[in-house]
Amino acid sequence: MAGSGTFFVGGNWKCNGTKDSINKLVSDLNNATLEADVDVVVAPPFVYLDQVKNTLTDRVEISAQNSWVGKGGAFTGEISVEQLKDIGCKWVILGHSERRHVIGEDDQFIGKKAAYALSENLKVIACIGERLEEREAGKTFDVCFQQLKAFAGKFFIFLSYMAQEVHVAVRDWLKKNVSAEVASKTRIIYGGSVNGSNCAELAKKEDIDGFLVGGASLKGPEFTTIINSVTSKKVAA
């Protein structure tokens, strides 16, 4: 059974963009015709959040790519949940594989960040997923469930995913370890390489409730195609 709720498409811009390229992207999105029943969120780098918030249509909500583990203060280089809310941010991406494996954030630290963001009413796009060597060693489920555990007990709006074949197993895990209600309400979104040419096929899959898009979200027309792939979902249903 797929998660209840609206199809979700997030665009993670990662460490990309300049004022000019972002103006162009915002303009493309403002002029695009987007299907009505899709929640659309974009995550610009911190330094452009304000620019995007002030110029992008309200149809698209804004996310940060990270947030601090508690209240702001003497934490050089960090951005607090309170500051994000102050500029109109509604979401934050936490636990992304690049934060885990390049920056070295562990499950407990990510879990604390998520708990704090949620306690302050910032919605979380919680990411879990195994590394290639873990998948090859047959450890996909172990790793994913371990990461889920750090998030569990807190109600999540979403889980973003690196490997689409584990969506069913994750929903099952939530049912057994959290509750049937959370399992049915959680939107499990696919965080693999989603692009304009594979989105329609992926959207049809029953346990994929949306996408977290990387590189393709930097191209307005392609991102629009991905958002509008919800039409394939309806046909499949």
Q: Give the chain's domains with CATH numbers.
A: 7-72+80-219 (3.20.20.70)
Q: Are the C-beta atoms of 187 and 158 separated by less than 8 Å?
A: yes
Residues 44-67 have a mean pLDDT of 98
Residue partners of 122: CB distance under 8 A and separation at least 6 = 67, 81, 84, 85, 89, 90, 91, 92
Report which of residues 154 and 212 the model is more confident about: 212
pTM score, whole prediction: 0.94
Q: Are the C-beta atoms of 68 and 81 separated by less than 8 Å?
A: yes
Residue 16: predicted pLDDT: 98
Residue 56: predicted pLDDT: 98
Mean pLDDT computed over every residue of the chain: 93
pLDDT grade for 1, boundaries at 50, 70 and 90: very low
Q: Which of 61-65, 78-82, 158-162, 191-195 has the lowest mean pLDDT?
A: 158-162
Checking if the pLDDT of 197 tops 50, the result is yes
Q: What percent of the chain has pLDDT over 90?
A: 80
Q: What percent of the chain has pLDDT over 70?
A: 96
Residues 78-87 have a mean pLDDT of 98
Checking if the pLDDT of 154 tops 80, the result is no
In a 10 Å sphere around its CB, with 0-12 CB exposed, 13-18 middle and 19+ buried, how is residue 18 labelled?
A: exposed
Checking if the pLDDT of 69 tops 50, the result is yes
Report which of residues 14 and 192 the model is more confident about: 14
Q: Beta partners for 9?
A: 40, 211
Report which of residues 225 and 235 the model is more confident about: 225
Q: What CA–CA distance (Å, rounded) separates 59 from 208?
A: 22
Checking if the pLDDT of 3 tops 80, the result is no
Highest averaged pLDDT of the listed ranges 24-33, 123-132, 154-163:
24-33
Q: What CA–CA distance (Å, rounded) separates 237 from 42?
A: 27
pLDDT tens figures, 204-228? 988 899 999 999 999 999 999 999 9
Classify residue 38 as left (phi > 0), alpha (psi -120 to 50) or beta: beta
